[in-house]
Amino acid sequence: MTTAAPSNIPAPPPGCPFNAEFLPPNLRKHVDPAAPVPLRMMAAKSLVPLSPSDMLGALFMLTFDADAAVRETAAKTSAGLPEKILGSALRDEEVQPQVLGYFLGMLKEKDAYAEMLVLNASTPDEAVAAVARDCGAKLAEIIGQNQLRLLRHEDILRNLCSNAQVPVSIIDSVCDFAVRSGMQLTDVPQMKAARVRLFGPEAAEAPPDPGPTAEQVLQEMGGEVTDENAAPLEEGKRLTLAQRLMKMSISEKIKLATLGNKEARGALIRDTNKLVAVAVIRSPRITDGEVLSCAANRAIMEDVLRVIYNNREWTKNMKVKLALVKNPKVPLTVTMKFLNVLRDNELKDLSRDKNVPAAVQQFAKKMLEKKTTPKRTDDK
């Protein structure tokens, strides 16, 4: 679906899934469909001063341009970008997922770049699944090590299993993990073999006691766990949801974390399995309020906090920064980075707050003293 453009941002070319909001305001004209062709051609030739990540986004937008020459130039430029640009941008999780998927399809034969993109958490699962179908053994091993992707998107495992270049040892390891996590895939022979290997011949067609699926829970509880605007669950229904979650496999919980609403995510973020909790914070439906709540939660898993403090968009929010600074599970090296950008009144509050870690309180006090102590000058 095309992103609606605010009044001060040019509408995207027809078919492009996002607008130019990510670009510096003075450079958005270079992807504006209403701008003269020479302006757009400058960006298509990468002659516009953009950061590596912004350049990838602009080139992707121009592959939808109405002018065939601009489209072809943008595609040619994308395929020939130098390492100094790709090496930085392909690792950036803030790049639009559609852009990362486009470049993975283009660069899948170049192992170093394909690995960067497969390791980038923002690269779409669908793009990784497409590459898994015919990639080499090294890239297949990297794909197979991303357990959250495997459980979140079944076609990744399907395609790995159909790829003749992937060693049997990797397939067996991946399938064993998937079976233990509750994934079924009765259409994949290697998964059937894994069930027999782990549970015996009687489990060939289906695992013992697979538990409810995400689809069953969503159907049973309806909009109460799918509609983001649904009222909070009544106590009885909240208990029912908790009981269903207790019986669900890891793979089905991850599906529910992706498809469910705030109520479902709130229950799943407390799961003891880190893959489930991380699936919640990485859900495309997660809200800023939920992110802030997780950042302030001292009982939250460190893996969840790591996703939050490594996300540049979320940490632009001063409330999120402060919540992370006060959370004792956040590494001190990360906390110090955030302390350096806090205002004097915020440092003052931290220096007096007995509920923050002692080291943070002391650092805040020292930083405040350094800012407020007048510089001494030698007498002449």
pLDDT of the chain along its 380 residues, tens only? 334 444 578 899 999 999 999 999 999 999 999 999 999 999 999 999 999 999 999 999 999 999 999 999 999 999 999 999 999 999 999 999 999 999 999 999 999 999 999 999 999 999 999 999 999 999 999 999 999 999 999 999 999 999 999 999 999 999 999 999 999 898 999 999 999 999 998 888 776 677 888 999 989 888 888 888 888 888 898 898 999 999 999 999 999 999 999 999 999 999 999 999 999 999 999 999 999 999 999 999 999 999 999 999 999 999 999 999 999 999 999 999 998 888 888 888 888 888 888 888 888 888 888 877 665 555 54
Q: Count other Cβ atoms within 10 Å, centred on residue 56.
A: 26
What's the pLDDT at 210?
Answer: 74
CA distances from 200 to 2, 194, 208, 367 (A): 50, 9, 10, 63
What's the pLDDT at 5?
Answer: 44
Distance CA 345, CA 367 (A): 12
What's the pLDDT at 211?
Answer: 84
One-letter amino acid for residue 142 of the chain: I
What's the pLDDT at 377?
Answer: 57
What's the pLDDT at 3?
Answer: 41
What's the pLDDT at 374?
Answer: 63
- pTM (2 d.p.): 0.85
What's the pLDDT at 49?
Answer: 95
What's the pLDDT at 23?
Answer: 94
The radius of gyration of the chain's CA atoms, rounded to the nearest angstrom, is 25
- Largest interatomic CA distance in the chain: 93
What's the pLDDT at 376?
Answer: 58
What's the pLDDT at 277?
Answer: 96
What's the pLDDT at 206?
Answer: 73
Closest CA to 291 of 251, 336, 255, 321: 321
